[in-house]
Amino acid sequence: MIIEKVQNVLRRQRELEEKMASPEVTSDPSKMEKIGREYNNLTRSLPTFKKYLDLANNIASARQILETESDAEMLELAKEELDTAEPQLAEYEQKVKMLLVPRDPKDLKNAILEIRAGTGGTEAGIFAADLYRMYMHFIEKKGWGVEVLSSSFGDLNAVKEIILNVSGNNAYGTLKYESGVHRVQRVPLTETQGRVHTSAASVAVFPEADEFEVQIDPNDLRIDLFCSSGPGGQSVNTTYSAVRIVHVPSGLTVSCQDEKSQHKNKAKAMKVLQTRLYEMELAKVEAQESAARKSMVSTGDRSAKIRTYNFPQNRVTDHRINLTLYNLDKLIDGDMDELIDALSIADLNERINSEP
C-alpha cells in the first residue's frame, strides 16, 4: 500500500530528527553530515506526502458518509468532496510514487568530477576546457561549492585533465549522468581550411568518499615530492610542493600540484585517492547489480559515447535516450537542467517500471 509506505517515510524523518539531536551524532561531524543529507532530502518531500495523506483521508471520510448517512445535504457535500479530491489524489499518487522509488544513498553525496581530453589533439583539450566552463557555470547556477583538486593544461589553455570536488545537495545524483565520452563536431581554432573536425573528451563522476568509508593504511602509500610545472612542462617553481601518492596494493597513482603548499597538495591528493578506492569497491557492487538491471543511462561504462555536441547546427544529442536539442549555445553556457532532467526522468521511469 502506498499509504503505508508514505507513513514509513514520515516515521523515518522523525527518527532522523531524533538522531540529529543525539550527542552521538552532534559530536561527530561526518555522521551529522550523512544523516543531515538524508533528513534534508526527506524534508523537501514532506509537503507532497502530507497532501497525499490528507486527500486520502478526505476521500475515505466522504465515502463513509455516502455509505452511512441519509441526510441529503451531507450526501451532496460528500459527493462534491469526492469529485474534487479523487482527481487530485490520482495526480499526487504519481508524484508520491516517484518520490518513493528507492533512492541511491550515494546520490546525496558530494561529487568528484574529472574531465580529460581524448582523441583530437589540441582541439580535444580546448573542448575539455569548454566542458569545464560549462560545468562551472552549471555548478554556480545551482549554488554549489567547487574546489579544483588537480589540473593540467596545455597550449591555448587546453585542458589535459582537471579534477573538481563539487559540494552541494544531490550533487552526485545530478552529475552522475555526465559520465562517459563527450564528442564534439566543429571547426577547431587550429583549423585553417574551415573543415569540421570530430574530437572527444571523457568525463567521469564519482561520489565523494566519506573518511569513515575508506580507511587507508599509511604503510600502503609511497609519497613522492617534485617541483610543480606549467603548460608544456616548464617549471613554475623550484620548491618540492607537488605531491604524487602511489597506493601500492591497488597500483593507483594520484598527484596534485595546484597549491603552493605541499601539505595542501597532499590533502587534495589524498581526497582523490580516497574517492578512487571507494569507486573501485562500488564498481564491483555495480557490476553485480547491472546483471539484474541494465539501465539505459547507466554510468557503469565510462568508455561509451554518451553525447554529441554539433556546433555548426547548434545541436546536442544524448544518445542514451535519443534526445536532440537545438540549444547548444545555452547548454555550453551552463543551462543544463533540461537535459539532466530528461535523463533523470528516464532513469526514474525505468526504476518505477522495474519495481515489484
3-state secondary structure of 77: helix
- In the structure, what pLDDT confidence band is assigned to residue 299 with cuts at 50, 70 and 90? very low
CATH number of the domain at 196, please.
Answer: 3.30.70.1660
Mean pLDDT computed over every residue of the chain: 86
Residue 106 in grid coordinates: 550515494
Short-list 210, 182, 209, 216, CA closest to 198: 182
Ranking 65-69, 214-218, 342-346 by mean pLDDT, the lowest is: 214-218
Tell me the DSSP string of 87-118: HHHHHHHHHHHHHHSPPPGGGGS-EEEEEEE-
> What residue numbers bound the domain in which 55 lies?
2-100
Residue 45 in grid coordinates: 518531500
Q: Measured between alpha carbons, how far is residue 101 from residues 115, 145, 210, 352 in Å?
A: 31, 28, 24, 6
Residue 232 has pLDDT above 50, yes or no: no
Q: What is the pLDDT of residue 212?
A: 57
Q: What is the DSSP letter of 209?
A: P
Residue 195 in grid coordinates: 573543415
- Does residue 144 sit in the same domain as residue 180? yes
- Does residue 302 sit in the same domain as residue 191? yes
Tell me the percentage of the chain whose pLDDT exceeds 70: 89
Q: Pick from 100, 134, 158: which residue ends a domain? A: 100
Average pLDDT over residues 2-31: 88
Total count of domains within the chain: 2
Distance of CA 194 to the CA centre of its chain: 37
Instruction: Break the chain down into helix, strand, coil percent, rounded to 5.
Output: 55, 20, 25
- Does residue 148 sit in the same domain as residue 269? yes
- Does residue 223 sit in the same domain as residue 87? no
Residue 251 in grid coordinates: 597500483
- Does residue 149 sit in the same domain as residue 211? yes
d(CA 258, CA 185): 31
- Does residue 69 sit in the same domain as residue 112? no
- Does residue 63 sit in the same domain as residue 169? no
**Backbone φ and ψ of 290, nearest 5°:** -65, -20
Residue 206 has pLDDT above 50, yes or no: yes
Q: What is the pLDDT of residue 293?
A: 46
- Does residue 146 sit in the same domain as residue 279? yes
Q: Pick from 100, 126, 159: which residue ends a domain? A: 100
The residues, any chain, with a CB within 8 Å of residue 182's CB and separated by 6 or more, are 127, 131, 200, 201, 202, 203, 306, 307, 308, 309
Bridge-based pairing state of the strands 252-256 and 180-186: unpaired
CATH number of the domain at 22, please.
Answer: 1.20.58
What angle do the packed helices 337-354 and 72-100 form, to 10 degrees?
A: 100
Residue 209 in grid coordinates: 568518499
d(CA 289, CA 284): 9
Enclosing H/E stretch for 244: strand 242-247
- Does residue 179 sit in the same domain as residue 258? yes
Q: Pick from 81, 100, 119: which residue ends a domain? A: 100
- Does residue 95 sit in the same domain as residue 61? yes
- Does residue 262 sit in the same domain as residue 285? yes
pLDDT, tens digit, 9 for 90 and up, residues 15-25? 999 999 999 88
d(CA 183, CA 251): 30
Residue appearing with cell numbers 577547431 = 188
- Does residue 247 sit in the same domain as residue 326? yes
pLDDT, tens digit, 9 for 90 and up, residues 318-327? 999 999 999 9
